[in-house]
Structure 1
Amino acid sequence: MKRTVKKQFWLSRDEAQELQKKAKRTCLSEAALFRLLVRGFEPKEKPDDRFYDVMRQLSAIGNNLHQLTVKANAIGFLDMQKLNTEAERWHSFQADVERQFLRPEKSDLKWQ
């Protein structure tokens, strides 16, 4: 999206510090945070390192499941339908965790 309209406004020192603090907690620039808020989304704060450790483990397990699926399909040894169902369930769980911790949500603010 090309941004061609410039808006300039004034903040108090406290407001400016609050905007800076919130942008830092969400790992967004102040402008990106502002644009999300204007569009009605409430960004999530950056999760702690435990979240990223869990996501790496989920990703590794998902990759292993995928590799097992490919190998099992090649040799015809495992119940492919069951293995594929479990792999899909695992990837869905991983996506749900990402959505819960990382993706901004629509805000319930009434003025939007």
Structure 2
Amino acid sequence: MIKGVIPRDAPPPDYHKMMRELYRIGNNLNQIAAKAHTLQVMDIQRYDRAVQEFRTAVHTITEAVVLPERRS
């Protein structure tokens, strides 16, 4: 509070839904990597989409759960 921010309370009800989404995206990335390793080929478009989904989800979760709220 000294730095002008308010700590967050317990995670919101959507927290677990958001985490499941992260695990789903991570699983997709894992499958892409395993396939690329086996076939020695990479589906770049699918991988790029999954990475972008992952980054977006991490950003959304960080804003919603981790970062403190700014005081108005």
In the superposition, the TM-score normalised over structure 1's length comes to: 0.49
Per-residue CA deviation, residues 15-35 of structure 1 (Å, 9 max, x unaligned), is: xxxxxxxxxxxxxxxxxxxxx
Shift in Å, 1:87: 1.8
Larger Rg: 1
Alignment counterpart, residue 45 of structure 2, candidates 46, 64, 82: 82
Residue 12 of structure 2 corresponds to which residue in structure 1?
A: 48
Within-5 A mapping of 1:1-112:
37-49=1-13, 51-74=14-37, 75=39, 76=41, 79=43, 81-102=44-65, 103-108=67-72
How far apart are the structure 2 equivalents of 1:53 and 1:99? 13
Cα distance in 1 for partners of 2:12, 2:6 equals 18
TM-score by length of 2: 0.68
SS at the partner of 1:48? coil
Query: What is the Cα deviation at residue 45 of structure 1?
Result: 3.4
Q: What one-letter code is carried by the residue in structure 1 that aligns with 2:70?
A: K
The separation in 2 between residues aligned to 1:90 and 1:64, in whole angstroms, is 12
Aligned residues: 69
CA distance in 2, matches of 1:106, 1:99: 14
Q: Name segments (4+ residues, structure 1) moved above 6 Å.
A: none
Structure 1 pair 48–62 and aligned structure 2 pair: CA distance change class (3 A): same
